[in-house]
Amino acid sequence: MACLFNEKDCLFNEFQDSVNEYLIRHRSVLDVMTKLQEANARINRAVSKAVTNCGCLKIHAERQRIPMDVSLRDIKNFMNNHIEGELCEQCRETLEAELGNSFFYQTALCNLLGLNLTETVAKERERIQTLGVFKFC
């Protein structure tokens, strides 16, 4: 695939080409969709294990407290992610591998459906920039 944007975006094209080359066994769209779902479940499990098994992360969740007079653009300054601590090296490596696996199957789905990963990411970036905070409210 040719690079459509800049050198950084070539990484997406190269990744998409690699996925196309190395995905051999699970080429059915049904296989790819279920492998993607499994990969996403493994991400959730890895975060949970960082909390419950390793303990490098703690989750302290409570209701978000947002002042009434805050503008929509400033709300993010008052939002809490509920995470305390930082990933240890082992949990970080596990999550990077699980996220990479998820990216692999997302890209495989793009390949099967004839979507270009770089264009897909660029269009989403454009939507985010155009709609800004209103997209995710």
DSSP 59: E
- What pLDDT was estimated at residue 4? 52
- What pLDDT was estimated at residue 44? 98
* Six-digit token string for 14: 């190269």
Q: Residue 134's pLDDT band (boundaries 50, 70, 90)?
A: low
* Six-digit token string for 60: 């302290």
Q: Residue 3's pLDDT band (boundaries 50, 70, 90)?
A: low
Is the predicted pLDDT of residue 2 greater than 80, yes or no? Answer: no
* CATH number for the domain harbouring residue 127: 1.10.287.1080
Dihedral sign, Cα of residue 95, residue 98, residue 104, residue 106: negative
Whether residue 1 lies inside any domain: the answer is: no
- The total number of structural domains in the chain stands at 1
Indicate the SS3 state at residue 69. coil
Structural domain harbouring 64: 7-136
pLDDT tens, position by position, 26-72: 789 999 999 999 999 999 999 999 999 999 999 999 999 889 998 88
Q: Give the separation between CA 33 and CA 29, rounded to whole angstroms.
A: 6
- What pLDDT was estimated at residue 75? 86
Phi, psi of 73, rounded to the nearest 5 degrees: -65, -25
Whether residue 91 lies inside any domain: the answer is: yes
- Can you give the pTM of this predicted structure? 0.83
Whether residue 96 lies inside any domain: the answer is: yes
Identify which of 97, 109, 96 has the alpha carbon closest to the alpha carbon of residue 34: 109
Whether residue 90 lies inside any domain: the answer is: yes
Whether residue 59 lies inside any domain: the answer is: yes
Whether residue 2 lies inside any domain: the answer is: no
* Six-digit token string for 80: 């809490």
78 in Cβ contact with 65 (< 8 Å): yes
